[in-house]
Chains A and B, each alone.
Chain A
Amino acid sequence: MRNGRIRGPAPGEIMTTVTTPPAAGATGSPSGADRRPGRPDRRDRDSRALTFRQKLNRFDVKASPYFYIAPFFVLFGLVGLFPLVYTFVVSLNKWNLLTGPGEWIGFGNYVAELNDPFFWNSLFNTVSIFLLSAIPQLLAAVFIAAILDQNIRGKTFWRMSVLIPYVVTPVAVTLIFSSAFDEKYGLINNLLQSFHLSPINWKTETFPAHVAIASMVNWRWTGYNALILLAAMQAVPRDIHESAALDGAGSFRRFFSITLPSIRPTMIFVIITATIGGLQIFTEPKLFNPSSAVPGGPQRQYQTTVLYLWDMAFNRQNFGKASAIAWLLFLIIVIFGVLNFLISRRIASTEGRLHKKRTAKRLARYQSGGGANGGNSTSGDRSDSADAIEGELAIAAAAEEKRA
């Protein structure tokens, strides 16, 4: 349906015109001047006249795109989609790591997990650590990006310097911070004591442990996110700043009235990626306290959901329950994602009014290009079809605006 509407002449047809000069005249003439009644359709005539080479060429043109994208879809099906679906199958059974599938119990594993305080505990820990890392991180990243957005000397050097933590792997980060947060000999408690403050039980109390784990995430990712936000800030035209300054806006006013609103879409992007990553945190809580027998703290003070899943599957060897946890977490991530999407669309639609004119213009151009494709030159048609996705987006945006 959709394709039919936006499609120009297919590449195969263009190629035939190129390789067979006699046919080109027939294809090229727009009217039916040389078309006598009862004469077979142009397309049929072409295929009758095709040589083997041309058939090969047509096959090449038609099939190649599918061959190019096939590796992705085949491999993704095998290592991405199939495991997710099969996880669901496993989750409906009693299933042990060693003895294999047991009896079919429907949603029994889900019911058991939803009634298990350890599951809710892990979820609480995950969300708590996520919030403790996402919010300060975003604020700090905006601040750092604003600092870097100035006309500083040695730009590249400073940009690279905020990225240093990113090259330290999470395992190494955790080892380093785990030793710094050590309760007896750690760097941080030593410092606290030298200021005559009482040491903090970083590895046995819930909230301090969450702060410690969040600090690892923050340390590694803040600079990375600051660079993403910096790129968005640099995309704001300097002229806007200039005219605002002419109207007497100071640098703080310009930051809150120009910079922040313009980087909002990028901030949403950062939040979404941080959410997907943050809800799957594993390495940091796993390695934070090596002397704890239970992964995630003696009383599971910082056992996150993926860590709980890992413990369930490979220590307690209950694959059925672990798969149920995986699917519950998957649903939670999807819900978070949809919420993010809805909120961001809300924000975007308030901004959308500004783009209305541009959208309408693009829509008009796109419809005239795709609707009447007979009169256009080949190259014009091609670029229009290349815009197809953009055109679809424009239509969707226009429909959205109409509804609103």
Chain B
Amino acid sequence: MTATAPRVRETAKAQKPRAPRRRALGIDRRPGFLTYGILIALFVGGAYPLWWSFVAGSSSSSVLSSTWPPLLPGGQFWTNVAQVLDTVPFWLALGNSIIVSSVITLSVVAFSTLAGYAFAKLRFRGREGLMVFVIATLAVPTQLGIIPLFMVMKQFGWTGTLGAVIIPTLVTAFGVFFMRQYLVDVIPEELIEAARMDGANMIRTFWHVGVPAARPAMAILGLFTFMTAWTDYLWPLLVVPQNPTLQVALSQLQSAKYVDYSIVLTGAVMATIPLLILFVLAGRQLVSGIMAGAVKG
């Protein structure tokens, strides 16, 4: 996206006669109502389940069994919120999720940038072989190692602590690969050479040349790492059921014998709000991150 947007604008400016011809040929023509109709349908399809859970979560559960679903929220939202707060330790879980996701994000971004910089810009024996190893591990489903990890956590008495959630995800092969792909094009060799000639040692060069250049990719990697850590469910469910993260607490809402869906849906809405805020603040970066990752990867 970042690459194509300026290009389109350039062609429009530099080659003025071309644009009308393209339009006459049917390329780059403004699409008709059908396209916007489909786009609106997609928007509704994406947003409606969320809206519906808000509607259902703000009504009493009897409304849910009516034939036609209500379109507007009822007045019970805060009552239901209070009940969610009674049933599960929501604030504790929210705090836990924030701590876990933040620590994982910082660690993954720091270690990935360091390793990605080395793979992209430094020369050392075995570089290619080690990089192939990193790429190969991308395809390894590490989730399948939960049994020994659980045994280790239990052995050390870490179950129930946030450390048990954090430690297994401190690094990812994807992060290293992503940073390497980004940095290999972005830093000119001359810049590193110049820093070295000015007497900077290796780590100073990394800090003053590598990190500033890596910043955009670090932001994207951080965003996605945060999302992944936030949505993780299987592992936290195993190690911290009593000291839950948000996803675990949320799932506990429906483990009761009688499932009150209006309460459950209120919980789902409450748990989605933090990520919705993130989406409003950084949705643009999410979009360009996904699109950039596609071209690179």
Contacts and interface: CB of A to CB of B under 8 A. Distances in A.
A3 B126 contact: yes
Contact of B176 (A2, A72, A334): A72
How many of chain A's residues touch chain B, expressed as a range? 35 or more
SS class of chain B's interface: helix, strand, loop or mixed? helix
A33 interface: no
Contacts of A223: 42, 46
A359 interface: no
A269 B294 contact: yes
Contacts of A73: 130
Interface in B158-178: 167-171, 173, 176
B87 interface: no
A260 interface: no
A31 interface: no
B186 interface: no
B171 A190 contact: no
SS class of chain A's interface: helix, strand, loop or mixed? helix
Contact of A179 (B4, B46, B56, B247): B56
A10 B123 contact: yes
A167 interface: yes
A80 B66 contact: no
A57 B268 CA distance: 56
A80 B69 contact: no
B14 interface: no
B171 A72 contact: yes
Contacts of B276: 167
B137 to A, nearest CB: 7
Given A80-B137, A329-B144, A176 B53 contact: yes
B102 interface: no
Contact of B294 (A71, A231, A337): A231
B254 A185 contact: no
Given A164-B47, A228-B290, A241-B27, A144 B42 contact: yes
Given A83-B145, A167-B276, A383-B189, A227 B287 contact: yes
Contacts of A310: 234
B267 A60 contact: no
Nearest to A336: B139
A246 interface: yes
A179 B259 CA distance: 9
Contacts of A279: 141
Contacts of A382: 189, 193
Interface stretch (B74-82, B112-120, B213-221): B112-120
Interface in B183-217: 184, 189-190, 193, 196-197, 201-203, 206
Nearest to B197: A18
A269 B128 contact: no
Contacts of B114: 68-69, 71
Contact of A280 (B141, B197, B291): B141
A161 B42 contact: yes
A271 interface: no
A156 B49 contact: no
A90 B147 contact: yes
18 contacts: A68-B122, A73-B130, A75-B171, A79-B142, A79-B171, A83-B146, A151-B30, A163-B46, A167-B279, A171-B268, A185-B64, A190-B69, A219-B46, A227-B290, A290-B255, A313-B146, A333-B141, A386-B189
Interface of B: 1, 4, 11, 22, 25-31, 35-36, 38-39, 42-43, 45-47, 49-50, 52-53, 56, 64-69, 111-112, 114-115, 117-119, 121-131, 134, 137, 139-151, 167-171, 173, 176, 184, 189-190, 193, 196-197, 201-203, 206, 227, 230-231, 233-234, 238, 247, 250-251, 253-257, 259, 261, 264-265, 267-268, 271-272, 275-276, 278-279, 283-284, 286-287, 290-295, 297
Given A68-B115, A319-B151, 6 more contacts: A79-B171, A179-B261, A191-B69, A227-B294, A231-B291, A306-B143
